[in-house]
Homo-oligomer: A and B are copies of this chain.
Amino acid sequence: MAVYTEIGEDELEAFVAGYDLGKVLSFKGIAEGVENSNYLLVTDSGPFILTLYEKRVEESDLPFFLGLMNHLSARGERCPTAVADRDGRLHSRLADRPAAIITFLQGVWIRRPRRQHCTAVGAALARLHLAAADFEVRRRNALALDGWARLVAATADHADDVRVGLAEDIADEMEHLRARWPSGLPQGVIHADLFPDNVFFLGEELSGLIDFYFACNDMFAYDLAICLNAWCFEADRSFNVTKGKALLDGYAAVRPLGQEEIEALPLLARGAAFRFLLTRLNDWLSVPEGALVVPKDPMEFHARLRFHRDAESAAAYGFSL
């Protein structure tokens, strides 16, 4: 949760005047999104989300992120879209930062997901993978092997402040994953951060996906492995195999998994847990002063990582061959 930047009413009005949205009727910071500052913006045309991109998002990546949302929406997938300004631009600048106006997506994120939510998320993820097939902009995954190695180095000196032995465990895991990480699996655009707070429901119906700011080109099955980590563990850190099966079945009903993808699933899930362990650990060790952020506990993902190390096949996740 973060609202970092205070915006003056004059510069806000000048910014909104660049769009065909009428006058500003309301403007409130909202407590969502860790990477960016998000505001509810109500104009004569209705409610919108105004996003200021803080330092973690590269301005040069915005054509990928915003273009992807508009591409998916044009293909019938439910997600917010970036509103074009009077010059046709999807983003410009406000308060000295890149900024965009995004449509307001109805729905509520599910604090306590149940089996049927996991089925719906699996299906939505597969539809996203298929719908983005003809999206032509490319973005490499900054949080793949090389990015992990940088985070391993950045956190090495202080990881043991969180738990004694953690730095060595992380170094060993990095070596293990680097030696075995697959390369030939089907690839395309992945969401790469499809946690419950990025999936909205209206009643039991999935109403759309949000927050495409980690999206990139990488292995489809890795995206699914991220969702196994994000949706199928309980608060006590145990894996719920019923939810795992629901997620995998929901996905495979839309985009069947190949044999190699199925076999790689435990390793991919291990890599996914490692990725979130590293970023959370890095956040934990470097909370910016004055940030309205409570960092998330990195050790949640250490527990997940240990589960995946013991998984011998996709059957551990409920996958029925």
Q: Which residues of A are interface residues toward B (Cβ below 8 A)? A: 1, 3, 6-10, 12, 23-32, 40, 42, 47, 104, 106-112, 201-203, 290, 292-294
Contacts and interface: CB of A to CB of B under 8 A. Distances in A.
20 contacts: A1-B29, A1-B292, A3-B31, A6-B111, A7-B111, A12-B108, A23-B202, A23-B203, A24-B108, A26-B104, A26-B106, A27-B108, A28-B31, A28-B40, A29-B32, A30-B31, A31-B292, A42-B106, A292-B293, A292-B294
Copies of the polypeptide in the assembly: 2
A10 B108 CA distance: 11
Contacts of A30: 28-31, 40
Nearest to A108: B27
Nearest to A294: B290
Contacts of A31: 1, 3, 28-31, 292
A106 B1 contact: no
Contact of A9 (B12, B104, B111): B111
Contact of A110 (B9, B23, B26, B47): B9
Contact of A1 (B3, B9, B27): B3
Nearest to A27: B108
A292 B23 CA distance: 31
A23 B292 CA distance: 31
Nearest to A49: B28
Which A-B residue pairs are the 7 nearest by beta carbons? A29-B31, A3-B31, A25-B106, A292-B292, A8-B111, A27-B108, A28-B30
A8 to B, nearest CB: 5
A26 B292 contact: no
Contacts of A107: 25-26
Contacts of A112: 8-10
A26 B111 contact: no
Contacts of A26: 104, 106-108
Given A9-B110, A28-B40, 7 more contacts: A8-B111, A8-B112, A9-B108, A9-B109, A30-B31, A42-B106, A290-B294
